[in-house]
Amino acid sequence: MEEERARPILLIDGVCNLCNGTVRFVADREREPLLRFASLQSEFGRALLTRFGLPSETMESLVLVEDGQLYRRSDAALRLCRYMKQPWASARYYIYIPRFLRDAVYNFIAQNRYRWFGRQDQCTIPRADLAPRFLDET
């Protein structure tokens, strides 16, 4: 899969309203449209997880694949900030907070995301302007 080396890929839980909102939020604030997206439920997303040795049913985390490396949880969220305009780009410096603290906050939000933000019955169809940046949506 040379595809993931070309431009960064963000995998999200396609039925999660928070995750889908994150895609829109990041895309609207990117310095330039580099990120590509796929749902964890898609064939592409499952294959990418498997390639990196993760169970294909992993749905508890954002996953960012960048330069052939896979990042999860708070690492993925904070690395996303590097692609965004200010002031959002400055949040990337939270990466210096110890991972166990960052991931504790991330996991708390992830465990409550459906209750707080809701979920869809099936993967959300991306906005028309973002659809070309989605990979293998099934």
Look at residue 108 and tell me if it is in a domain.
Answer: yes
Look at residue 92 and tell me if it is in a domain.
Answer: yes
CA distance 119 to 11: 16
Look at residue 138 and tell me if it is in a domain.
Answer: no
Is residue 80 over pLDDT 60?
A: yes
pLDDT in tens, 10-59: 999 888 889 888 999 999 999 999 999 999 988 999 999 999 998 877 67
**pLDDT band with cut points at 50, 70 and 90 for residue 60:** confident
Interhelix angle 99-117/17-29, nearest 10 degrees: 110
pLDDT of residue 58: 67
Percent of the chain with pLDDT over 90: 62
> 8 and 65 in contact (C-beta within 8 Å)?
yes
pLDDT in tens, 83-136: 999 999 999 999 999 999 999 999 999 999 989 999 887 777 777 788 888 886
Alpha helix (H) residue ranges in the chain:
3-6, 17-29, 43-51, 73-80, 99-117
Domains held by the chain: number: 1
**pLDDT band with cut points at 50, 70 and 90 for residue 74:** very high
Look at residue 35 and tell me if it is in a domain.
Answer: yes
Is residue 7 over pLDDT 50?
A: yes
> 46 and 18 in contact (C-beta within 8 Å)?
no
Domain region containing 69: 3-133
Angle at 121 between CA 134 and CA 33, to 5 degrees: 20
